Amino acid sequence: MNVKKFTAPTSREALRKVRESLGPDAVILSNRQADGGVEILALANDDAASLAMPAPHSPMADPAPSLDLTTAVPYGRAEQRQEPRLEQRMEPRFESPTVTPAPAALPAQPVRRVVASNSSFASATKAAAAVPAPAPARATIDAEQIAALVSAAVASAKQNAAAEMQGMMSEIRAMRGMMETQLAEISWGTTQAREPQKAAVLREMLAAGFSASLARYLIEKLPANRDAADSLRWIKNVLTRNLQTMANEDALIEQGGVFALVGPTGVGKTTSTAKLAARCVMRHGPDKLALITTDAYRIGAHEQLRIYGKILGVMVHSVKDEADLRIALKELKNKHTVLIDTVGVSQRDQMVTEQVSMLQGAGSDVKRLLCLNATATQETLNEVVRAYQGSGLAGCIMTKLDEAAAIGNVLDVVIRQKLNLFYVSNGQRVPEDLHLADPAYLIDRAFKLKRDVVNTQYLDAELPLLMSNGQNEQALREVHLG
């Protein structure tokens, strides 16, 4: 069976196409409006004839019974018997494939036949419009909908399972943290009662500004059978050995190179640049030194460094981007030392990454020196180091030492982040207030500048809780006990 579909703007045009394609004896199966036009499904005469012929042994092949049709008359009148009408015999051309059976209580109805004659296509169109749409297409649509529903259900189940698993893991981590905290409290409570000198050393380190994580690590490694004074001396020796500093300034000054001072706004980069420039001029003269500034944002920043350069007799160059910096360094390659004063950027600003990328892509080996403010909190200093770390820092300079009430916080960050401390700055005078870092002096000064408020801030019962929270910090790096 070959059913063909014809579409046209009007019914007349569609019927014309059917007549031209299948001939005047074609059978119209359906006629409907579709997409602003008419769509007709038609079948050739030969295909319709093959459908109309019943199978040899089927019930449809039996001869049709002869029925007498009687007409009922009103009550009281004699029934009149009518002769059955002779059925007009026509050659069957198409038999509807679907026959609706009559209910059991009613007599069987004769089978209706729809015949497409040569003279009228309109009657055949109306008869074929009642034929239902093919079932396989609907079955295909239903299967696709079922598959889509199943996929959506599976995806929703997976999402719910992942959310439940994530919530379960969060609860397990919370329970683990709670158990670790309680066990640490019990452990430190026992240690405090058994070894009171550790509690005294803990108070000293917290008062000096060192973190609870570093204090816990060192106190756990503290040798036994020592009094408080001897234990504190051991702590100072360990901290001194782990504070990396530049042993000889001559190695830096004589070697020369390109140095860029980086850091947040207001940490003293321009003043530190002027102090380093003065040391280089006193050693090699102004002809061997060049100054570059990238600070074109602040009002008067360029003029401040230009004044220092005029006093020292050194030319100051201003650059805006990586291309200008590459050109300037290429022109100043004959200089022994080049100092770059960068613009101050917050550690949480995206410009930090751009600045580090500019210095790394300048075409020469630019050594970055990070300026750390001694008055900043430990959490702020950790963020600054992580932001400006990049591919690696050559060293750091501790600034505003004279303004800090305690310096243990910045020393703690330098020790845990394994930074190389070059200089410490304790004032605004150029170049007097710049000193080579001395580890023993800085550690001793940190314990002398301890904050008295810490000695009364924590009670003995609160120290175990403080130390249990300190062990959760992940920034602690192992120190050498040596």
Higher-scoring residue by pLDDT: 391, 193? 391
Residues 214 and 284 in one domain: no
Same domain, 275 and 402: yes
Q: Choose among 217, 275, 267: nearest CA to 385.
A: 267
| % of the chain beyond a pLDDT of 70 | 69
Give the C-alpha separation, 42 to 125, whole Å: 9
Looking at the structure, do residues 27 and 144 belong to the same domain, yes or no? Answer: no
**The three-state (H, E, C) secondary structure of 254-304, written as one string:** HHCEEEEEECCCCCCHHHHHHHHHHHHHHHHCHHHEEEEECCCCCCCHHHH
pLDDT in tens, 252-275: 788 888 888 988 888 888 889 889
Which domain range does residue 25 map to? 1-56+112-133
How many CB atoms neighbour CB 234 within 10 A?
17
What's the mean pLDDT in 308-325? 85
Same domain, 264 and 366: yes
User: Is 63 domain-assigned?
Assistant: no
- Are 407 and 472 in a shared domain? no
Pair 167, 119 in one domain: no
Which pair of structure tokens corresponds to residue 90? 């026509």
414-435 confidence digits (pLDDT tens) = 998 889 999 999 888 888 888 8
Q: Which helix (H) or strand (E) holds 309?
A: helix 301-312
Residues 279 and 354 in one domain: yes
Q: What is the mean pLDDT of the chain?
A: 75
At 312, which amino acid appears? Answer: L
CA quadruple 454, 457, 461, 466: dihedral sign: negative
In a domain, 254, yes or no: yes
On whether residue 90 sits in a domain, the answer given is no
Shared domain for 432 and 461, answered yes or no, is no
Model confidence pLDDT, tens digit, residues 282-294: 888 888 888 988 8
Q: Is residue 400 domain-shared with residue 302, that is, in the same domain?
A: yes
Task: Please say which residue of 133, 163, 191 terminates a domain.
Answer: 133
- Structural domains counted in the chain: 3
Quickly list DSSP for 172-183.
Answer: HHHHHHHHHHHH
User: Could you read off the pLDDT of 340-386 as tens digits, one per residue?
Assistant: 888 888 888 778 887 888 887 777 788 889 999 998 888 899 989 98
- Length of the chain in terms of residues written: 482
Does 399 reside within a domain? Answer: yes
Token duo for residue 39 = 């769509």
Residues 427, 353, single domain; the answer is: yes
